[in-house]
Every structure is written in structure tokens, then in C-alpha cells.
């Protein structure tokens, strides 16, 4: 597609449930990133994928968070046993490669609310 697509756009879940968030990057972009943004806060890096290299998972806040990228395209971020502090907007971005001369293009995000 023309842009980065994320689904669902909104997700309300009960504490303790697992959720899956999906990101479909721009075709041809080899680098894919996940960030999250809590209310009134800046963007917090979670994980990135670049081609066939091992992902950089250094930003994942706990082992309840995991992500995968299949076939070098679509990525799924999974949060297990959700907690209220996981409530945030989860943003996916992609770029042609890891040297973002043109910056990243973000999707419109998934707003996760844990009740």
C-alpha cells in the first residue's frame, strides 16, 4: 500500500488477556520499528527489524512483550497478560533502510486500553 497500515486502530482488553497488534509496512521498506506513546509522553522505542538481521529488542519493557516479522514484511507485536500500564498508542514505522535520510513513515497507530 501507499502508507504504513496498522490494525486494529483501537483495542480495549481486560487485564490479563493477550493482544496482538499488526503492522503492514510500506512495500520495499526493509526496516520496521515499533514505538509506543503513553498519554502526554514522548515516543518510546520498543523493537526494530532490519532485513534478515537479528532484531534489536533492547526497548521491550518486559518479557511479556514480543514481536515477529514474517517474510520481511508484516510484523506482529504481542503483549501477553496485559497490565493497565500497557495502555498506550502503539506506533509502527518503516524506512527504506536503517539510515533514515528521509526519516521514518509512521502508521496511524493502535490505541490500546487495558481495563
Partner 1 sequence: RKEVEQDPGPFNVPEGATVAFNCTYSNSASQSFFWYRQDCRKEPKLLMSVYSSGNEDGRFTAQLNRASQYISLLIRDSKLSDSATYLCVGYGGATNKLIFGTGTLLAVQP
106 binds partner 1 (CB under 8 A): yes
* Sites for partner 1 among residues 53-82 (CB under 8 A): 56
Per CB under 8 A, does 103 bind partner 1?
yes
User: Which of 44, 32, 25 minimizes the C-alpha distance to 86?
Assistant: 44
Closest contact distance (angstroms) between CB of 98 and partner 1 is 5
Residue 98 binds partner 1, judged by CB under 8 A? yes
Kindly state the cell numbers that stand for 66.
514480543
Q: Which of 23, 35, 36, 88 binds partner 1 (CB under 8 A)?
A: 35
Q: Which of 24, 26, 33, 77 binds partner 1 (CB under 8 A)?
A: 33
| 71 Cβ contact partners less than 8 Å away, ≥ 6 residues apart | none
- Residue 53 corresponds to which cell in the numbers above? 538481521
Contact yes or no for 13/112 (Cβ under 8 A): yes
Whether the Cβ atoms of residue 90 and residue 34 lie closer than 8 Å to each other: yes
Q: Which positions touch partner 1 (CB under 8 A)? A: 33, 35, 41-43, 45, 48, 50, 56, 91, 98-109
Amino acid at each position: 500500500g501507499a502508507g504504513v497500515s496498522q490494525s486494529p486502530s483501537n483495542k480495549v482488553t481486560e487485564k490479563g488477556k493477550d493482544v496482538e497488534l499488526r503492522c503492514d509496512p510500506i512495500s520495499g521498506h526493509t526496516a520496521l520499528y515499533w514505538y509506543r506513546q503513553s498519554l502526554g509522553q514522548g515516543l518510546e522505542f520498543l523493537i526494530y527489524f532490519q532485513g534478515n538481521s537479528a532484531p534489536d529488542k533492547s526497548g521491550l519493557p518486559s518479557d511479556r512483550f514480543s514481536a515477529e516479522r514474517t517474510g520481511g514484511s508484516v510484523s506482529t507485536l504481542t503483549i501477553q497478560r496485559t497490565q493497565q500500564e500497557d495502555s498506550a498508542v502503539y506506533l509502527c514505522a518503516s524506512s527504506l533502510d536503517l539510515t533514515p535520510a528521509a526519516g521514518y513513515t509512521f502508521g496511524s497507530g493502535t490505541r490500546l486500553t487495558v481495563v
